[in-house]
């Protein structure tokens, strides 16, 4: 006999962040309870794990694809993709890049077989400051998905939230290509993405906490609501709801279950298999932290042009450092993936 998880909700809205009616609900565990009020997205390229936790959407990045291709259970898929591409007349560097694009899409195609929603696939981090190159890469990835019979409506193209990334987002959304703007650490970054019409943004939580833990003169103990990453994402969420932006806010990059619970009720959360497991194994009560119907609507409008974007990022040491670090790390893992592919050609 299980101990049901009780969740109190405050809204009867049918928006992504308000899935439960205005009554107390019970669930078998915290993960099930969370799914009642927030879209749960799997943060992994391992579609066997995705089958296990039954999220609505899934998101990948070069680091997650790198982990997946090194797993013995996926080696046959990798070899199949390499064989299909290797007869191309592209020169070696371009061929390796082409294979990596096909691999990212193939993992996405397999993931879409086990989820009802959308998958996110990332544009190369090394293109993060080239608008035209990001747009071309996004179009190529969509064409690859469509060659597998996957509609573009089931794909989100992930782009780093540089100023150039924001402009690429604007162009892609006009073309009917949906975007997931990632590596967001700053309020003005997020607002710029919404003003560009991004379908979804991924503001990071855990990496913000990492920065504060590393740079604070004295170590602080945070609660699930005072954690600086949770505070940052909550502020973004409140602005979007106050000004009725349709862009989905999806918290990302978690270090603990408490960070997830601090954002319970937000539009979406992308969660690693480890933390999905912790939620599934917990029967503790889950309290809703965010709801669009209980927010202060008196939030000043902010318009973000290029000057404002660059200045506000410059003034935010944490966001500047973590954005640059994130782009470097994603690119480093893409280069590792390319090395693995080159040995298989």
Among residues 35, 158, 241, 322, the one annotated as catalytic is 158
Residues 193, 181: Cα–Cα separation, whole Å: 7
Residues 39, 56: Cα–Cα separation, whole Å: 7
Contact by Cβ (8 Å): 79, 88: no
Work out whether strand 39-43 and strand 179-184 pair parallel, antiparallel, or are unpaired: unpaired
Query: Two tokens at 121?
Result: 């696939």
Residues 259, 317: Cα–Cα separation, whole Å: 22
CA distance from start to end of the chain? 54
Res 8: pLDDT: 42
Res 19: pLDDT: 52
Res 21: pLDDT: 39
Contact by Cβ (8 Å): 116, 153: no
Contact by Cβ (8 Å): 304, 192: yes
Residues 254, 120: Cα–Cα separation, whole Å: 18
Q: Active-site residue 158, yes or no?
A: yes
* Residue 13, burial from CB neighbour count under 10 angstroms (0-12, 13-18, 19+): middle
Residues 214, 66: Cα–Cα separation, whole Å: 27
Residues 41, 61: Cα–Cα separation, whole Å: 13
Query: Two tokens at 184?
Result: 């967001």
Record the pTM: 0.91
Domains annotated on the chain, with CATH: 5-344 (3.20.20.70)
**3-state secondary structure at position 291:** coil
**3-state secondary structure at position 187:** helix
Cα–Cα nearest to 268, from 153, 128, 156, 127: 156
* Residue 324, burial from CB neighbour count under 10 angstroms (0-12, 13-18, 19+): middle
Contact by Cβ (8 Å): 274, 227: no
Residue 183 φ/ψ region, left for φ over 0, alpha for ψ in the -120 to 50 degree band, beta for the rest = left
Task: Please list the pLDDT of the chain residue by residue as tens digits (345 residues).
Answer: 334 454 444 333 334 444 543 333 568 899 999 999 999 999 998 888 999 999 999 988 888 888 888 888 888 898 999 999 988 889 999 999 999 999 999 999 999 999 999 999 999 999 999 999 999 999 999 999 999 999 999 999 999 999 999 999 999 999 999 999 999 999 999 999 999 999 999 999 999 999 999 998 777 889 999 999 999 999 999 999 999 999 999 999 999 999 999 999 999 999 999 999 999 999 999 999 999 887 777 899 999 999 999 999 999 999 999 999 999 999 999 999 999 999 888
Query: Two tokens at 98?
Result: 């082409």
Res 101: pLDDT: 96
Contact by Cβ (8 Å): 156, 178: yes
């Amino acid at each position: 006999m299980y101990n049901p998880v009780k969740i109190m909700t405050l809204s009867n809205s049918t928006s992504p962040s308000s899935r439960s009616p205005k009554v107390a609900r019970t669930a078998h565990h915290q993960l099930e309870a969370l799914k009642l009020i927030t879209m749960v997205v799997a943060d992994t390229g391992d579609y066997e794990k995705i089958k296990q936790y039954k999220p609505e959407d899934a998101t990948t990045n070069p680091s997650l694809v790198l982990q997946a291709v090194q797993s013995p259970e996926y080696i046959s898929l990798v070899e199949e993709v390499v064989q299909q591409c290797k007869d191309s007349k592209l020169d070696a560097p371009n061929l390796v890049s082409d294979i990596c694009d096909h691999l990212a899409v193939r993992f996405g195609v397999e993931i879409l077989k086990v989820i009802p929603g959308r998958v996110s696939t990332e544009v190369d981090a090394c293109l993060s400051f080239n608008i035209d190159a990001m747009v071309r890469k996004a179009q190529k990835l969509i064409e690859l998905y469509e060659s597998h019979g996957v509609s573009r409506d089931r794909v989100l193209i992930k782009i780093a939230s540089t100023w150039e990334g924001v402009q690429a987002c604007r162009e892609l959304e006009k073309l009917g290509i949906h975007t997931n703007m990632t590596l967001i650490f700053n309020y003005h970054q997020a607002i710029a993405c919404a003003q560009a019409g991004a379908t979804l943004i991924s503001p990071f939580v855990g990496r913000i906490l990492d920065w504060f833990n590393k740079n604070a003169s004295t170590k602080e103990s945070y609660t699930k609501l005072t954690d600086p990453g949770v505070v940052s994402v909550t502020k973004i969420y409140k602005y979007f709801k106050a000004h009725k932006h349709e862009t989905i806010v999806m918290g990302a990059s978690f270090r603990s279950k408490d960070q997830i619970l601090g954002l319970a009720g937000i539009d979406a959360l992308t969660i690693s298999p480890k933390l999905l497991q912790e939620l599934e194994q917990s029967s503790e009560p889950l309290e809703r932290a965010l709801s669009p119907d209980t927010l202060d609507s008196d939030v000043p409008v902010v318009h973000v042009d290029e000057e404002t974007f660059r200045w506000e990022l410059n003034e935010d040491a944490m966001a500047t450092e973590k954005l640059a670090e994130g782009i470097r790390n994603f690119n480093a893992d893409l280069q590792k993936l390319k090395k693995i592919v080159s040995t298989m050609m």
